[in-house]
Amino acid sequence: MASLGQPGLIVRQKHPLNLEFPFATLSGYLTPVDQFYVRNHFPTPAVDPEAFRLSLTGSVRRPLALGMADLRALPQAAFTAVMECAGNGRVFYEPAREGLQWQNGAVGNARWSGVPLSVLLDEAGVDAGACEVVLIGADRGRVDDGKKTASPGPIAFARSLPLDKARSPDVLIAHAMNGEPLTAEHGAPLRAVVAGWYGMAWIKWLTEIRVVDRPFTGYWQTRDYFRWDRGLGEPVLVPLTRMEVKSQIAQPVAGARLRCGAPVTVTGAAWSGEADIVAVDVSVEGAEPLDWRPARITPADGPHGWVLWEFTWTPTVPGPATLRCRARDATGATQPDRQQPDRESYGANWIIPVEVTVVPVDAASLDDFVI
Ligand SMILES: Nc1nc2c(c(=O)[nH]1)N[C@H]1C(S)=C(S)[C@@H](COP(=O)(O)O)O[C@H]1N2
Ligand SMILES: [Mo]
């Protein structure tokens, strides 16, 4: 197959900038920064790394105002973590849902470096009555979503973490991505890394951290990025948090034509919010019951990274075929067969069939587009 060179990113929206990683180009464990999806709600703010101070205020004994040099002098940590936008895969919902029509590329896996949020919380001394930590970005704008919630003026992008997550080693105040200082698109000079949780919690252009003694009810906490929870009987809206278990096929792509009798490597990635991936299964047939076979997994390089997987398949029958993949995590959670009614337009982790065509070898030899 001809090389596509630098395939770049798919523009989902120009203002504000929203870019999707073409997941079919997945080729390495870490997603390069210039291939990493971008999800913005407002124009990218300019934060001057010299003048800027990260403030930590609220229910703390010693409020902090830290410059970049102060942050670099504190203990550092680094890990690989997958970040998936809660809207990844929205295009597969039926009927169509409002919102950016992400296919399967609003996800990436990078190495993040910075100061654990727990270090800052310890420095500041959290009050006994505190319950959450609100992370606030420097970007702001008016929200008018037609749901009677138009904001009276510009509001900042903000989300909260419960104290136990905020204090866990999963959360970094990061200044670098894949060993390079954060780029403007990815939140320079500082962003939150909230390993295990959907991207909306990973606040970019982080300028303010506020410890609060009652649950935060900001717009992106309560009016967006939620799901229905029926655990208490009557369904209630709860903020999205942990990523659902998920696997995706990178190659072959939907519509691919495959040579009959020639082995093809089915490849992809899999991840889950706060548990390891223990298995990825692949099925290559359309007929039920599906014959699921284990894929080979390249383990993650730590608790938060995705796993890459592959499965070798030699098609033997010309005609249409359906590829599916399904991951299972250490809690036993696996991907559902169908879309989940309680997830509004988020958390799309059900099994997405990829339809391909197997062509006889003689026909294949005449066709450049066959892989
Ligand atoms: N300040 C701020 N932080 C933000 C956002 C934003 O619009 N503003 N978008 C969030 C969402 S929904 C996602 S999925 C991730 C995307 O991060 P990326 O653009 O670096 O991929 O950032 C999150 N952090
Ligand atoms: Mo997102």
Ordered DSSP codes for 123-149: HH-B-TT--EEEEEEEEEE----SSS-
pLDDT score, position 320: 95
* 290, two tokens: 């599906």
Check pocket membership of 36 for ligand 1, CB cut-off 6 A.
Answer: yes
Task: Name the closest ligand to CA 201.
Answer: 1
Q: Whose CA is nearest to atom 19 of ligand 1?
A: 38
Q: What is the distance in A from the centroid of ligand 2 to the CA of 192? A: 13
Ligand 1 atom at shortest distance from the alpha carbon of 45: 1
Residue 202 CA, ligand 1 centroid: distance in Å: 6
Please calculate the CA angle 101-217-214 and round it to the nearest 5 degrees: 145
Ligand 2 centroid to 83 CA: how many Å?
9
Backbone phi and psi for residue 60, each to the nearest 5 degrees, phi listed first: -135, 155
Q: Given this model, what pLDDT does residue 5 score?
A: 37
Q: How far is the CA of 89 from the centre of ligand 2 (A)?
A: 11
- The segments of the chain whose pLDDT lies below 50 read 1-6
Identify the DSSP state of 262: S
Here the tokens at position 163 are: 């104290």
* Spatial separation of the C-alpha atoms in residues 59 and 326, rounded to whole Å: 44
For residue 327, the model assigns a pLDDT of: 98
Alpha-carbon distance of 287 to 293, in angstroms, equals 15
Considering every ligand atom shown, identify the ligand nearest to the alpha carbon of residue 174 and give its number: 1
Residue type, 223: R
The answer, yes or no, to whether any atom of ligand 1 lies below 6 A from the CB of 40, is yes
8 A C-beta contact, residue 219 and residue 138: no
Q: Is 203 in the pocket of ligand 1 (CB under 6 A)?
A: yes
Q: List for the chain the helix, strand, coil content (%; round to 5).
A: 10, 35, 50
Beta strands in 197-245 (DSSP E): 206-212, 226-229, 236-239
Ligand 1 in reach of 140 Cβ (< 6 A): no
Whether residue 220 has its Cβ less than 6 Å from ligand 1: no
User: How far is the C-alpha of 3 from the C-alpha of 100, rounded, in Å?
Assistant: 29
Secondary structure class of 194 (helix, strand, coil): strand
Assess contact for 336 and 328: CB atoms under 8 A: no
CA distances from 242 to 165, 197, 213, 358 (A): 11, 4, 22, 38
Is there an atom of ligand 1 within 6 Å of 197 CB?
no
User: Best of 39, 143, 198 to mutate for ligand 1, by most ligand atoms within 8 A of CB?
Assistant: 39
Is residue 225 in contact with ligand 1, taking CB distance under 6 Å? no
Q: Ligand 1 centre from 343 Cα, in Å?
A: 19
Closest Cα partner for 9 from 36, 30, 27? Answer: 36
> Looking at residue 13, what is its pLDDT?
95
Ligand 1 near 159 CB (within 6 A): no
Task: Give the pairing of strands 206-212 and 54-58.
Answer: parallel
pLDDT at 81: 98
Decide: residue 277, CB within 10 A, 0-12 exposed, 13-18 middle, 19+ buried.
Answer: buried
- For the CA of 41, the closest atom of ligand 1 is 7
12 touches ligand 1 (CB under 6 Å): no
Question: Atom 24 (ligand 1): residue with closest C-alpha?
Answer: 203
What sign for the dihedral angle of Cα 194, 199, 200, 204? positive
**Do residues 71 and 175 lie in contact, with contact meaning Cβ atoms separated by under 8 Å?**
yes
Q: What is the pLDDT of residues 33-69, one digit of tens each?
A: 999 999 999 999 999 999 999 999 999 999 999 999 9
Q: What is the C-alpha to C-alpha distance for residues 6 and 111, in angstroms, rounded to an integer?
A: 21
Does residue 219 have its Cβ closer than 6 Å to ligand 1?
no
Structure pTM? 0.95
In this prediction, residue 1 carries a pLDDT of 31
Under a CB-based contact definition with an 8 Å cutoff, are residues 340 and 350 in contact? yes
Distance 161 CA to ligand 1 centre (A): 15
Q: Which ligand number lies closest to the CA of residue 43? A: 1
